[in-house]
């Protein structure tokens, strides 16, 4: 008789315990065993076992997903505030390092500040991608061409010890995806592979089309049926143990030393894939290497040719009149200066109501550049809608540090609404403004009713 049963015999207090058992077929199960005393002239112990393996797994998944949701909300909120700050730091240090280019000492310092600010911007971008709150700008993107363009950068990043092979689908390979975020995702994966191959090895980037049927989707909870373009990053590195594999997608999970890993690479990749309407998988075995695959929604071909590769505009400015709306005074002053520096005439407003007032009094305004998230009841999207009722031909450029904001992003079918993500640099702002100002926006009148609010 077990000690536990002897105790039950003497005290009569029922016991309940969950423990692991190996079944005949070799599988491990969690059994909840309830034991209680059946009194009588010859007392007996009654034992009931329930297999709670599945229940435990579901509970664990739920706990995990609640935790991740909380972390997502937290990081998304913090990242938004950081983006406001970084926009000022990036812009300021850029101006400083241009102005100090002739001074070897101060110029170098300003350059270092700029570098650090860029790293901060990359980090916040990863946080937002993980929490699926970044503003994506999805377009039909030729993924093969994008991978080929990355080849050079990858070769420099990975070093000579690592061979790079591209195994690209021979057919058309377009996905509806944010091109610059896809580049970041592939770079994150390649850097992980480099870290996993300290003595060198081989990195393969593969693209291929795949149809996921209803049956496959049921088998894999993360997948939805549909037509996908797979982008796999394959390495011959150290691989992952089952324990690491189980947690690899978790944010802040890292096996690397302090300062080397942030644990945000894979969570960025999976958050980005999901926000794009796809998903990501990992296949890895210790000592045998790792395959991370992004499944991206496939499209027939480029619907909007060329739009995915904008930004060759440099810092060309203009002389149009821009109404800039931003509630953060520091950011407002900074951006107003940037705009004036590009040659534009600038009017500023701290909120939507004042912006509309200014718009009424100043018919010469060509474009409103507004933050989406603003206090005071009128956010950027509502301001845009109200402005279009006054002036249907008015151009609007929205900006935000995160995207809890009301905006028909993924559902913006014509891709007419233009966004500039914070933090942005002067060149990004300049190029985006020219793109919007030079575009022919005659379809806007019919767009405006789809703005919520």
Ligand X SMILES: Nc1ncnc2c1ncn2[C@@H]1O[C@H](COP(=O)(O)OP(=O)(O)O)[C@@H](O)[C@H]1O
Which residues make up the interface to Mg ion (CB under 5 A)? 192, 265
Binding status of residue 266 toward ligand X by CB under 6 A: yes
Binding status of residue 200 toward ligand X by CB under 6 A: no
Between 251 and 401, CB nearer to ligand X: 251
| Those residues with Cβ within 8 angstroms of residue 183's Cβ, 6 or more apart along the chain or in another chain | 146, 150
| Those residues with Cβ within 8 angstroms of residue 365's Cβ, 6 or more apart along the chain or in another chain | 321, 322, 323, 347, 358, 359, 391, 394
* Residue 235 contacts which entry, ligand X, Mg ion, none (Cβ below 5-8 A, type-dependent): ligand X
* Residue 263 contacts which entry, ligand X, Mg ion, none (Cβ below 5-8 A, type-dependent): ligand X
Closest CA to 373 of 89, 48, 135, 117: 135
Binding status of residue 122 toward ligand X by CB under 6 A: no
**The two structure tokens encoding residue 30:** 């969690």
| Those residues with Cβ within 8 angstroms of residue 373's Cβ, 6 or more apart along the chain or in another chain | 80, 379, 380, 400, 401, 402, 404, 405
Question: Is 160 within 8 Å of 127 (Cβ atoms)?
Answer: no
**The two structure tokens encoding residue 180:** 């610059």
Among 72, 265, 278, 423, binds ligand X (CB under 6 A): 265
Residues binding ligand X: what is the number (CB under 6 A)? 22
* Residue 253 contacts which entry, Mg ion, ligand X, none (Cβ below 5-8 A, type-dependent): ligand X
* Residue 254 contacts which entry, ligand X, Mg ion, none (Cβ below 5-8 A, type-dependent): ligand X
| Residue, CB closest to ligand X | 265
Distance between CA atoms of 54 and 220, rounded to whole angstroms?
A: 16
CB of 103 to ligand X, least distance (A): 36
Contact segment (CB under 6 A) with ligand X among 98-106, 255-263, 349-357, 387-395 equals: 255-263
Binding status of residue 262 toward ligand X by CB under 6 A: yes
| Those residues with Cβ within 8 angstroms of residue 280's Cβ, 6 or more apart along the chain or in another chain | 222, 249, 266, 269, 270, 273, 274, 292, 293, 294, 295
* Residue 244 contacts which entry, Mg ion, ligand X, none (Cβ below 5-8 A, type-dependent): ligand X
**Angle CA 80–82–84, to nearest 5:** 75
Binding status of residue 244 toward ligand X by CB under 6 A: yes
- Category of 343 on φ-ψ map: left (φ > 0), alpha (ψ -120 to 50) or beta: left
CB of 190 to ligand X, least distance (A): 9
Among 76, 201, 237, 297, binds ligand X (CB under 6 A): 237
Between 95 and 255, CB nearer to ligand X: 255
Binding status of residue 341 toward ligand X by CB under 6 A: no
Binding status of residue 192 toward ligand X by CB under 6 A: yes
Between 90 and 264, CB nearer to ligand X: 264
Distance between CA atoms of 157 and 226, rounded to whole angstroms?
A: 34
Distance between CA atoms of 29 and 54, rounded to whole angstroms?
A: 9
DSSP 3-state assignment of 331? Answer: helix
Among 8, 143, 184, 238, binds ligand X (CB under 6 A): 238
**The two structure tokens encoding residue 270:** 């999976």
Between 227 and 255, CB nearer to ligand X: 255
Binding status of residue 232 toward ligand X by CB under 6 A: no
**Footprint on this chain of ligand X (rule: CB under 6 A):** 192-193, 196, 235, 237-240, 244, 248, 253-256, 261-267, 290
């Amino acid at each position: 008789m077990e000690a536990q049963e002897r105790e039950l015999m003497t005290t009569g207090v029922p016991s309940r315990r969950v423990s692991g058992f190996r079944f005949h077929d070799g599988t491990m199960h969690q059994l909840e065993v309830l034991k209680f005393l059946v009194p009588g002239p010859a007392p007996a112990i009654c034992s009931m076992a329930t297999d709670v393996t599945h229940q435990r797994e579901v509970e664990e998944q739920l706990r995990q997903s609640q935790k991740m949701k909380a972390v997502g909300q937290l990081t998304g909120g913090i990242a938004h505030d950081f983006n406001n700050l970084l926009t000022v730091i990036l812009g300021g240090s850029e101006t400083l390092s241009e102005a100090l280019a002739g001074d070897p000492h101060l110029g170098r310092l300003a350059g270092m500040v700029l570098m650090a600010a860029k790293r901060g911007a990359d980090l916040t971008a990863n946080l937002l991608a993980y929490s699926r709150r970044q503003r994506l700008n999805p377009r039909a993107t030729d993924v093969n061409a994008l991978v080929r363009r990355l080849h050079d950068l990858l070769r420099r990043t990975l070093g000579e010890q690592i061979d790079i092979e591209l195994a690209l689908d021979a057919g058309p390979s377009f996905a509806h995806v944010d091109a610059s975020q896809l580049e970041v995702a592939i770079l994150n994966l390649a850097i992980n592979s480099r870290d996993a191959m300290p003595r060198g090895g081989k990195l393969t980037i593969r693209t291929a089309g795949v149809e996921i049927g209803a049956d496959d989707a049921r088998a894999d909870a993360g997948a939805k049926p549909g037509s996908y373009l797979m982008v796999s990053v394959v390495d011959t590195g150290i691989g992952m143990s089952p324990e690491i594999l189980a947690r690899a997608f978790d944010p802040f999970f890292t096996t690397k030393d302090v300062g080397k890993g942030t644990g945000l690479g894979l969570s960025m990749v999976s958050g980005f894939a999901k926000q794009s309407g796809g998903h990501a998988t990992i296949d890895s075995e210790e000592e045998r290497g790792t395959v991370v695959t992004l499944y991206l929604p496939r499209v027939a071909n480029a619907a909007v040719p060329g739009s995915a590769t904008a930004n060759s505009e440099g810092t060309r400015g203009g002389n149009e009149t821009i109404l800039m709306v931003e509630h953060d005074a520091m950011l407002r002053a900074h951006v107003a200066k940037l705009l004036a520096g590009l040659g534009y005439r600038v009017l500023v407003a701290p909120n939507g109501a004042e912006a509309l007032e200014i718009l009424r009094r100043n018919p010469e305004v060509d474009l409103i550049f507004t933050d989406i998230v603003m206090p005071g009841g009128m956010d950027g999207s509502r301001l845009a809608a109200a402005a279009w009722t006054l002036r249907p031909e008015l151009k609007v450029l929205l900006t935000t540090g995160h995207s809890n904001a009301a905006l028909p992003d993924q559902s913006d079918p014509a891709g007419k609404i233009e966004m500039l993500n914070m933090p942005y640099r002067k060149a990004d702002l300049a190029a985006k403004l020219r793109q919007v100002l030079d575009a022919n926006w005659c379809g806007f009148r019919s767009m405006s009713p789809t703005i919520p609010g």
